[in-house]
Amino acid sequence: MSFWKNKSVLVTGATGLVGSWLVHELLKQGSNVTALVLDNDPASQLFRSGDIDRISVVSGNLSSYHDVVRSMYTNECTEVFHLGAQTIVGTALLDPISTFESNVQGTWNVLEAVRQSKGLVKAVVVASSDKAYGSSGNLPYLEDHPLHGDGPYDVSKSCTDLIAQSYGNTYGLPVTVARCGNIYGGGDLNWSRIVPGTIRDLERKKQPVFRSDGTFIRDYVHVDDVISGYMKLAEVSQTKNLNGEGFNFSRDEPLSVTALYKHICQATVGSYVEPLILNTAKSEIKDQHLNSNKAKSVLGWSSSVSIGDGLAKTVAWYRNYLQSGSNV
C-alpha cells in the first residue's frame, strides 16, 4: 500500500508546473488533497487534467495568515507541500514587493500555521531553489554552502529557506527544504523560459530566442524527478529527524543554455536551428549547479529521467497542447 493512501495533504502553488503534477501523483496514490488557490487558471495543468474537480479547493492568498490556516485546518491536513511562490526572476525584478509578500510572508504564514496546529502536521516540504545560494565561484553547491541571494527573487528564496530552517531548528517543526535547479516539463506556460519557449517557436517554425548569451550553466531537472524527490523527502522525514535540513535535487549533469538548446532542437525537429541571441537577461546568476549526494545517501533518491527522455516527454505534451487549438 502506498505511504500516501488516505493521507490528507495540503499543496500550495497547486496551479503551477510542479504543483499540478504533484497533485496528480498524490491523487494517483490515493491521497485526499487540499489546495490553496489564489486565482482560477484554466490553462493550468491542474484544470486541464480535470484534477481540480477531484480535490478540495480553498480560495485564498498566501499572504493572508487566515487563509493559510483555513486551508490547512479545514481538512486536518497532516502533510504540507509549500510550493506557492512568485517564480519568475524578471517579474520579481519589476515587482519586488509582491514577490516578498508571496515568497517570504507566505512561508512564515504556512510555518506558523503548522506550529499552531499542535502536532497535527507530520511533515512540511518547503520548495526553495538553487537561487537561494546566490552567486558563487565554488560549484557545485552543497547543502552547507551559505545562502546569500542578491536580486529580489534570489533574496526571496534565501529568506524562504532560512525561515524554514529557523522554524525547524527553533521549534522542532518537521520542516525540510528542497532546492532544485531549473525545472522543466509539460504544463509550464511561462513562455519566456527556454524549454517551453523554444519548443513553441520550433513547432511554429519561428526562430527561437535566447535572453542570455547562451553560455549560462544550469541544472535542468524534469518535473517527475522533482515530485519523486519532494514526496520521498516528506516520507523519510517522518522516520528520521531532518528538522530544518535542506536537500539538493539534481541530475548532477549541468548544461549550458546552448547545450540544452541543442537537445531541445533534436527532440523537437531533429536538427539544429540557429537561435536569435539577445543577451538581454538581467539579474541572472551566470553559473549554478547542485550536488545531490545528500539526497542519495539520506533519502535514497536519485534522478531517473534523462535529458533525452525528459525532453521527449515534454515535447509530446506541448505538441498536443499547441495542436489542441490553443492560441497562447
Mean pLDDT of 102-128: 97
Least confident of 15-19, 52-56, 87-91, 281-285: 281-285
Q: Are strands 246-249 and 175-180 parallel, antiparallel or unpaired?
A: parallel
Residue 23 binned pLDDT confidence (cut-offs 50, 70, 90): very high
| Angstrom distance (rounded) from CA 321 to CA 54 | 22
Catalytic-residue membership of 153: yes
| Angstrom distance (rounded) from CA 185 to CA 43 | 15
* CA angle (19, 173, 290) in 5-degree steps: 55
Local structure of 177: helix, strand or coil: strand
What does the pLDDT look like over 71-88, one tens digit per residue? 999 999 999 999 999 888
State the amino acid at position 157 in one-letter form.
Answer: K
Please give the grid coordinates belonging to residue 141. Answer: 553547491
Choosing from 141, 153, 318, 321, which is the catalytic residue? 153
Please give the grid coordinates belonging to residue 216. Answer: 549560462
Cell 529557506: give the residue: 161
Mean pLDDT of 118-147: 95
Q: Are strands 217-218 and 255-256 parallel, antiparallel or unpaired?
A: antiparallel
What pTM was computed for the model?
0.95
Side-chain half-sphere exposure of 81, counting CA atoms within 13 A: 32
What does the pLDDT look like over 187-231, one tens digit per residue? 999 998 999 999 999 999 999 999 889 999 999 999 999 999 999
Closest CA to 159 of 200, 107, 211: 107
Determine the topology of domain 8-182+223-252+289-305 in CATH: Rossmann fold (3.40.50)
Least confident of 86-90, 164-168, 307-311: 86-90
Domain boundaries, the chain: 8-182+223-252+289-305
Residue 285 binned pLDDT confidence (cut-offs 50, 70, 90): confident
Strand (E) or helix (H) holding 82: strand 79-82
For the cut 90, the answer to whether the pLDDT of residue 283 exceeds it is no
Q: DSSP per residue over 210-253, as a string? A: ESS-S--EE-EEEHHHHHHHHHHHHHHTTTS--TT-EEEE--S-
State the amino acid at position 117 in one-letter form.
Answer: S
| Angstrom distance (rounded) from CA 154 to CA 130 | 9
Average predicted confidence (pLDDT) for the chain:
95
For the cut 80, the answer to whether the pLDDT of residue 326 exceeds it is no
Please give the grid coordinates belonging to residue 53. Answer: 474537480
What does the pLDDT look like over 229-257, one tens digit per residue? 999 999 999 999 999 999 999 999 999 99
263-254-282-94 Cα dihedral, nearest 10 degrees: 90
Residue 39 binned pLDDT confidence (cut-offs 50, 70, 90): confident
Residue 327 binned pLDDT confidence (cut-offs 50, 70, 90): low
Please give the grid coordinates belonging to residue 67. Answer: 487563509
